[in-house]
């Protein structure tokens, strides 16, 4: 068996923690959790989504996502509406308040990405991104 510290899942978790350390303070200052930010980013990127689609994009299990959506609604960041094509479907989207949050945070988020790129190296980051995408595309 591999040594504990050589475990791929452990190394990926440690890398996630290192990268999130750049963004966590900014999110905390704005009373948004990492998972909430992920949901907001997905809705910003993809527009209206059903919760199942949102769960897939965000890699969040549906039961956990239910609570996250409720809290984001209470904060005024997400709204729900019935689909025009199928009234059984509920679509989630961002409110103007959420779009305002994006406008306010986007420069800081981009500055953190730039700082990380300078620290880690642009070519290494491109290579890492490529390798991680290949890893996630594996059919296991």
Q: What are the structural domains of the chain?
A: 4-137 (1.10.10.10)
Helix axes of 34-46 and 62-74: crossing angle, nearest 10 degrees: 90
pLDDT at 47 (0 to 100):
95
Per-residue pLDDT of the chain (140 residues; tens, 9 = 90+): 889 988 999 999 999 999 999 999 999 999 999 999 999 999 999 999 999 999 999 999 999 999 999 999 999 999 999 877 877 889 999 999 999 999 999 999 999 999 999 999 999 999 999 999 999 999 77
- The count of C-alpha atoms lying within 13 angstroms of the C-alpha of 31, restricted to the half-sphere facing its C-beta, is 7
pLDDT at 88 (0 to 100):
81
- Look at the pTM and tell me if it is higher than 0.85: yes
**Beta carbons of 33 and 27 less than 8 angstroms apart:** yes
Return the structure tokens found at 135: 């890893």
Tokens 């978790």 correspond to 13
Return the structure tokens found at 89: 């479907």
The helix/strand/coil state of 82 is strand
**Per-residue buried b or exposed e for 26-42, using 16+ beta carbons within 10 Å of the residue's own CB:** ebeeeebeebbbbbbeb
pLDDT at 89 (0 to 100):
85
Alpha-carbon gap, residue 81 to 72, rounded angstroms: 15
């Amino acid at each position: 068996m591999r040594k504990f510290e050589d475990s791929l899942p452990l190394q990926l978790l440690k890398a996630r923690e290192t990268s999130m350390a750049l963004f966590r303070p900014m999110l905390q200052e704005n009373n948004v959790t990492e998972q909430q930010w992920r949901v907001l980013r997905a809705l910003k990127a993809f527009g209206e989504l059903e919760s199942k689609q949102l769960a897939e994009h965000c890699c969040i299990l549906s039961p956990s996502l239910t609570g996250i959506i409720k809290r984001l609604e209470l904060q005024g960041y997400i709204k729900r509406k019935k689909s025009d094509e199928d009234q059984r479907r509920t679509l989630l989207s961002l409110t103007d308040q959420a779009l305002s949050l994006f406008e306010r945070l986007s420069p800081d988020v981009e500055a953190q990405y730039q700082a990380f790129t300078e620290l880690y190296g642009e070519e290494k980051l491109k290579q890492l991104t490529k390798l991680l995408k290949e890893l996630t595309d594996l059919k296991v």
